[in-house]
Structure 1
Amino acid sequence: MNEKNWLGAELIFDLDADHLPNAPRNYADMLELVKKETLKLLDFLTDDFGFSEQEVQLVFSGGRGYHFHITSPKVLTLGSSERREIVNYVSGRDLEFKYFFREVAMDGDFGTGSKTFKGMKNVPRKCTLVGYDSGWGKRIALYLTDYIKSESEKKYKKDMFPELRRHDKVGNTTIKKLINIANSETGLKDILEKGRLDFDVRNFKEIAAYFMQESAEDFLHRFGASVDEPVTADIKRLIRVPGSLHGGSGMLVKKLALSEMEEFDPLNDAVVFGERPVKITASKPFSVQLKGKDLRIEEGIQEVPEYAAVYLICRGVAEYGYRRNQPDPV
């Protein structure tokens, strides 16, 4: 054993309802929430990191979430610390918003850092969004435009932009210009497609960074991906094999094409047992949605479809067959 050397490990991501704040207790709702987190992580893997579909293997865990296996040779030899950095990135941990906003000198209609502007030596400077077309910069652009649009649609001006109004350098003039941006033909589009934040507002770089920092919790909840860090960081972790059955549900650990993710319904597509009636003894009332049916189980002896029996036994709320001293259902 001492002569064996570690050769490498796939980069693994585990998304599970256990790691999601305020996850619903209902199993179907829980799985739907985890699917949304999985789609967010998929965006990071293919857009931010540039992994191809051939390098990303997606697997339903058979339980309460999904696994990603990254098989690219580039990641196989990454150590635990590097893998933790990847988790930090996709979750947005310690994201410094101030570095996404930059003041540039004007040149024509937009700044490129020239020393003169239309013959003037004191070159006007305006704010731009760094990296607006990819990664976290793109997500910030989406968040800002959604915020400006939704606030500008409020009925009363006094109710608009309450978060920005808390900043001591934001007054009615700033609010008016933001409303004009939202109502203009190209204002919001220019933020998304050009990173333009040139609202002709003094200190807007500071104001924008302040707003994003104040909104960090909501922003990261919307765009960050919640993954199980110990699983990703562990370079010797054993992960469930696709094609096996999950011991806590009896459902299939199912490999999926990335294109199948949005339509995949684990409570139907990962159920492998049939409809044959099976007698069980339930220890308590229980309800679950499987194969498009709402199943309500009462305490005691009863017959249920085979797929439900397997699930209930795996969940520990029923035993196979008849057990003495248990009441028959009325």
Structure 2
Amino acid sequence: MDTITKSYLKQKFSEYYSRNGVYTPGRFETREWAFVNVDSIPEFIMHRHIAFQNEIELRGYLMKNTPLHAYFSSAYYEKPDAEKMDDKGWKGADLIFDIDADHLPRGGLEEAKKQIVRLYDLLESDFGIEDMMLVFSGGRGYHIHVHDEEFLALGSAERREIVDYVSLNGVSYDNLMLQSTQYSRISGCMAKILENAIKRDLLTEIFRIKKKTADNLKDIFARNREKIYSGDFRTLPRTVRKSMEIVFEKCVDAIRVHVDPPVTADVKRLIRLPGSLHGKTSLRVTPLDRDGIEEFEPFRDAVVFGDEQVRVRVLSNVKFKLKGEEFRLRAGKHELPEYAAVFLICRNRALYGW
């Protein structure tokens, strides 16, 4: 990225921070802060071990230094600006979850949104968590910040146990009858698949059984529905029980949440600052309500720049969609809306000016 492009990008980010506030986390003065400045491009050089006493100091830093990326620590420290981690004096940490679209089996931001909603509801129902924040990362995923007091002192091992729980690590078909919330969800999913197959008369196709066995199974299910929904499949024909092991795996895949384990286990994690800009997309790191996330569209609702026409040199053929408009551009000179120009510059796909 050339000097003129860096100057333009710095100007645009500075304008954003002069007009917009950012999230101010609790226990503000105990947090470590870290930033990556525009001038460091193409290197990713993080300036960290920074502390602020109040929001005014943070706002002043953002406006003066105009970072490309802004982070704060999930941890609380006695001395957050100490250069050595051992000297900081760890006091606790928020419980953080990260779901990255690029790490999902099926991928995509829409799937990541479904996963984060599933996780939010699970944390609320199974752990009784009340104080948590949903955030679009500004890039390829979503975060959840848990602030409930009882989770702040957890170490890495305990946090990994929570990851195992939401990820369904270690579950087994042989343990289906165990009385646990997660096994109840799995057995309920399996029984529902079986019941739907009965209602749609698809038993012979789905479970590869003979018609006589299928007719017998319908009677068995009607008499033992409650037991089957609880995970007790002993009344089912042997051939069906064998097929249910495959159904088990499908239900586990449908119920598990694919969180990024190292993020949650890390008690000294740096996490993106909600309200800041993501330096690789120019999109806003956006706090979200549980009720509003369903309608949230990242490439529409997290776009912050305007429609003023800007001259750029596109470096290679590119296709993308922002604010409902699809762009298909060949390498060369173009006039684009500001929001599209800044997006491409951040993606290192364009330079400013002709």
Normalized against structure 1, the TM-score is what?
Answer: 0.73
Number of equivalenced pairs: 270
- 5+ residue gaps, structure 1, are 24-29, 103-129, 166-170, 323-330
C-alpha distance in structure 1 between counterparts of 2:231 and 2:157, whole Å: 36
Q: How does 1:85-234 map to 2 (within 5 A)?
A: 85-101=161-177, 130-131=179-180, 134-150=181-197, 153-154=200-201, 158-162=204-208, 175-180=214-219, 190=226, 195=230, 197=232, 200-201=235-236, 208=241, 210-234=242-266
Q: How does 1:1-330 map to 2 (within 5 A)?
A: 4-23=88-107, 30-52=108-130, 55-101=131-177, 130-131=179-180, 134-150=181-197, 153-154=200-201, 158-162=204-208, 175-180=214-219, 190=226, 195=230, 197=232, 200-201=235-236, 208=241, 210-322=242-354
Could you list the per-position Cα deviations for residues 86-144 of structure 1 after superposition, in whole angstroms to 9, with x for gaps in the alignment?
11111111102322227xxxxxxxxxxxxxxxxxxxxxxxxxxx45xx43412421232
The structure richer in helix per residue is 2
C-alpha distance in structure 1 between counterparts of 2:102 and 2:301, whole Å: 22
C-alpha distance in structure 2 between counterparts of 1:200 and 1:271, whole Å: 56
RMSD in angstroms over aligned alpha carbons? 2.8
2:166 aligns to what SS in structure 1?
Answer: helix
- 5+ residue gaps, structure 2, are 1-81
Contact 2:136 2:142 in 1 (8 A): yes
C-alpha distance in structure 2 between counterparts of 1:8 and 1:211, whole Å: 47
Amino acid of the structure 2 residue aligned with 1:79: G
C-alpha distance in structure 2 between counterparts of 1:278 and 1:303, whole Å: 5
Percent identity of paired positions between Structure 1 and Structure 2: 39
Could you list the per-position Cα deviations for residues 203-234 of structure 1 after superposition, in whole angstroms to 9, with x for gaps in the alignment?
79xx75x5554334422221111111111111
Normalized against structure 2, the TM-score is what?
Answer: 0.68
Amino acid of the structure 2 residue aligned with 1:19: H
C-alpha distance in structure 1 between counterparts of 2:243 and 2:160, whole Å: 28
Q: 1:315 to 1:136 in 2, by over 3 A?
A: farther
Contact 2:176 2:231 in 1 (8 A): no
C-alpha distance in structure 1 between counterparts of 2:215 and 2:189, whole Å: 21
C-alpha distance in structure 2 between counterparts of 1:211 and 1:270, whole Å: 45
Contact 1:59 1:66 in 2 (8 A): yes
Residue 246 of structure 1: how far off its partner (Å):
0.4
Could you list the per-position Cα deviations for residues 54-96 of structure 1 after superposition, in whole angstroms to 9, with x for gaps in the alignment?
x111000000110000111111111111111111111111102
Contact 2:190 2:247 in 1 (8 A): no
Amino acid of the structure 2 residue aligned with 1:145: K
Contact 2:188 2:230 in 1 (8 A): yes
